[in-house]
């Protein structure tokens, strides 16, 4: 979830609590002022840390975007400098507020350590944050739908509103989502599915954690679970690249080649760039902290294939088989010409 959404919401809620006499017009004015100048309303260390994190994260992602077309040598040099600067800024934020969860999470992700060590640090952060939330947020329950018991909700609000304005809850959800994705990358598929289902229980927190779940269940060859997950996820889930690619992998692994070919053609036809990224593995910027919002029509296809890379590599002959299916290479070449790849 973009800090440009939840940090202003947090500041606005805190201000409204401190000024219950505000009229609707005054609330609207405060909303506009916070959007323009959040520093003015960051009046304690926790709020100042959040505003600083919001800026650091923006600079980090903007920096990665700007260097996409650099030659490899310049890219590595500039990315190392960007990450080093971000690590220093995040360390300063954590000194200001050790409970700024997102700053801690991104610092963990930027640390130059093996992925297993990174996952261990994220797991510790998740446990600490979850325990603190259970103790400090009456009604917070990570094991129920919506994450909040009804007793915690005021008459005019819902669970999504509580989550959307609580940076610590959002930071915890980011951590769980990052763990789900990290488990996919390290072949811990049952753990990935469990973490993804936790994220999916949240209301007021935009996410596509169901994509991680689809890939995990496809790799586990859990046909019943895969299609049950699609039904439970509701309308639109079966249009996602993760479902369409996961279905192809699942059917291929189950030996249902004819159905797998139909599923692959469906993936290639419905997901812009799907065929291209499948037969031309393409670098993706790291998730800092979680899967970013799509900027291009084909971004979701790229993300789905990139996240499935380890599963594809671990599925004998899948990549060569996919490239050989009639029409797939032609779709890939057409996409490459259209977008200058």
Q: What are phi and psi of 173, to 5 degrees?
A: -65, -40
Alpha carbon distance 52, 137 (integer Å): 24
131 with 58, same domain? no
Which helix (H) or strand (E) segment holds residue 292: the answer is none
Which residue has 């031309």 as its token pair?
A: 280
Range of the domain at 127: 99-205
216 with 91, same domain? no
Q: What is the pLDDT of residue 155?
A: 77
214 with 298, same domain? yes
Tens of pLDDT, residues 45-60: 999 999 999 999 999 9
For residue 52, with 0-12 CB atoms within 10 Å meaning exposed, 13-18 middle and 19 or more buried, which class applies? buried
Q: Which of 190, 205, 220 is the C-terminal boundary of a domain?
A: 205
* Burial profile 88-116: b = 16 or more Cβ within 10 angstroms, e = fewer: ebbeebbebbebbbbbbbbbbbbeeeeee
Alpha carbon distance 226, 233 (integer Å): 11
Alpha carbon distance 224, 228 (integer Å): 6
226 with 301, same domain? yes
223 with 172, same domain? no
> Mean pLDDT over residues 244-257, rounded?
98
Which residue has 């919002």 as its token pair?
A: 293
Longest dimension (CA), the chain: 68
Q: Which of 205, 240, 270 is the C-terminal boundary of a domain?
A: 205
Alpha carbon distance 142, 213 (integer Å): 18
213 with 307, same domain? yes
| Cβ atoms of 217 and 231 closer than 8 Å | no
| Cβ atoms of 182 and 119 closer than 8 Å | yes
Q: Which of 152, 184, 205 is the C-terminal boundary of a domain?
A: 205
Tens of pLDDT, residues 271-320: 999 999 999 999 999 999 999 999 998 999 999 999 999 999 999 999 99
Is the pLDDT score of 25 beyond 80? yes
Q: 137 falls in which pLDDT band (50, 70, 90)?
A: very high
Which helix (H) or strand (E) segment holds residue 24: the answer is helix 24-36
Number of structural domains in the chain: 3
212 with 331, same domain? yes
Alpha carbon distance 14, 278 (integer Å): 47
Q: What is the pLDDT of residue 68?
A: 86
200 with 213, same domain? no
How many helices (H) and strands (E) would you count in the chain? 18, 0
Percent of the chain at pLDDT exceeding 90: 96
Looking at residue 203, the DSSP 8-state letter turns out to be S
The span from the first CA to the last CA of the chain, in angstroms, equals 29
């Amino acid at each position: 979830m973009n800090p440009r959404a939840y940090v202003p919401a947090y500041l606005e809620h805190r201000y409204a609590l401190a000024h219950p006499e505000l009229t609707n017009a005054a609330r609207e004015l405060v909303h506009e002022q916070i959007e323009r100048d959040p520093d003015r309303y960051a009046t304690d260390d926790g709020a100042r840390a959040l505003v600083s994190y919001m800026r650091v994260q923006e600079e980090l992602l903007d920096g990665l975007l700007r260097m996409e077309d650099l030659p490899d040598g310049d890219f590595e040099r500039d990315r190392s400098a960007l990450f080093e600067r971000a690590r220093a800024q995040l360390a300063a934020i954590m000194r200001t507020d050790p409970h700024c969860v997102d700053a801690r999470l991104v610092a963990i992700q930027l640390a130059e350590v093996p992925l297993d060590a990174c996952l261990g640090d994220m797991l510790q952060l998740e446990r600490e944050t979850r325990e603190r939330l259970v103790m400090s947020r009456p009604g917070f329950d990570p094991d129920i739908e919506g994450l909040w018991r009804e007793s915690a909700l005021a008459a005019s609000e819902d669970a999504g509103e509580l989550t959307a304005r609580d940076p610590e809850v959002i930071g915890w959800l980011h951590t769980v989502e990052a763990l789900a994705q990290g488990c996919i990358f390290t072949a811990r598929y049952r753990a990935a599915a469990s973490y993804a289902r936790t994220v999916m229980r949240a209301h007021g927190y935009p996410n596509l954690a169901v994509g991680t779940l689809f890939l995990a269940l496809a790799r586990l060859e859990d046909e019943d679970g895969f299609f049950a997950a699609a039904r439970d996820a509701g309308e639109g889930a079966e249009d996602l690249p993760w479902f369409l690619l996961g279905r192809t992998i699942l059917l291929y692994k189950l030996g249902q080649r004819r159905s797998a070919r139909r599923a692959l053609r469906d993936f290639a036809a419905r997901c812009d760039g799907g065929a291209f990224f499948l037969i031309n593995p393409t670098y993706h910027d790291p998730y800092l902290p979680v899967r970013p919002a799509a900027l291009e029509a084909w971004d979701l296809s790229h993300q789905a294939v990139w996240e499935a890379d380890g599963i594809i590599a671990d599925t004998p002959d899948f990549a060569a088989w996919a490239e050989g299916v009639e029409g797939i290479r032609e779709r890939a070449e057409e996409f490459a010409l259209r977008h200058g790849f």
